[in-house]
Amino acid sequence: MNFLSGIQATASALNAEKVRMDVVAQNIANAHTTRDTDGQAYRRKVVSFEALLGADASIGGVKIDGITNDPAQGELVYQPQHPHANADGYVQMPNVNVAMEMVDLLTASRAYEANLAVARNARQMAAKALTIGR
Amino acid sequence: MKIGSLPVPQPLELQQLYDSARNKGPGQTGETNPAEGIGGLQMAGPAGKAKFDNLLDSAVSAVNGKMQAADAEKTKLFTGETDNLHQAMIAMQEASVAFSLMVEVRNKLVEGYQEIMRMQV
């Protein structure tokens, strides 16, 4: 018995958007991190999605393809007193642009809302179907 | 909430009414062959009663399963095992819709039974 058909696709999309928001949170949190685990400046993470097909090539939803590093180069800031400054006194800053992260955050939030609307409508349709003949 | 353990009402009276109605007037109004039923539907004979019971039973246990799944999701959320709020909500909504459907089916059954009981003889 599957009353709310297609709800699995919506659930996976909600999951994906949540991961996207987590990635944005990580990027904003590390907007000024000059040392990552590899000793370099932090590089912003980008999440990519992949369509998921069901067993019979039907609705399957979406899954996280992967979280990768943005290869763009961050700016060099002259701060000779900084402990991570190089020999010339320049510090490699992370390539995070907070304004862009905010745009990503809003996109994730709106996409989440859209999927919630799908879930709400699926439920309303099922509830309406139950009132047939009344 | 365990609803699978509730006793399923047996539609005995309905079955008896149906059987007696079928046995009383076969010769006078031979418009349809009872085995063919109406609109190609197979009429539930005495052997079909157990089948309907099974159907009802499996429907009730399916609703029960959905409720238990929703409960499990809720427990996972409260104990911090997962932080997927939406999955718990979706499971609860699914259980709610399934329960509403079961209540509607039950209402319809009771309605039909009462309609027959009101019949003038």
pLDDT digits (tens, 9 = 90+) for A109-118: 999 999 999 9
Q: b/e for A23-45, b at 16 or more Cβ within 10 A? A: bbeebeebeeebeeeeeebbbbb
User: Which tens digit of pLDDT belongs to each residue from B12-47?
Assistant: 555 555 565 555 544 444 444 444 444 444 555 555
State which residue of chain B sits closest to A119, comparing Cα positions: B90
* Range list of β-strands (E), B13-76: none
Residue A3 contacts B where some CB pair is shorter than 8 Å: yes
Check the CA dihedral B66-B69-B73-B75 and report its sign. positive
Residue A18 contacts B where some CB pair is shorter than 8 Å: yes
Amino acid at A39: G
Does the structure's ipTM exceed the value 0.90?
no
Residue ranges in chain A modelled with pLDDT below 70 = 1-3, 5, 54-58
Residue B45 pLDDT: 54
Residue A3 pLDDT: 67
Tell if the CB–CB gap between B86 and A11 is shorter than 8 Å.
yes
Residue A130 pLDDT: 87
Residue B49 pLDDT: 61
The Cα A64–Cα A19 span in angstroms is: 8
Q: Is the pTM of this model over 0.80?
A: no
Q: How far is B68 from chain A (nearest CA, A)?
A: 15
Residue A46 contacts B where some CB pair is shorter than 8 Å: no
Q: Given B87, B101, B104, which is nearest A3 (Cβ)? A: B101
Residue B56 pLDDT: 85
Residue A34 contacts B where some CB pair is shorter than 8 Å: no
Query: What is the block-wise mean pLDDT of chain B (121 residues), using blocks of 10 residues?
Result: 47 55 48 46 55 85 92 92 88 90 91 93 80
Residue B29 pLDDT: 44
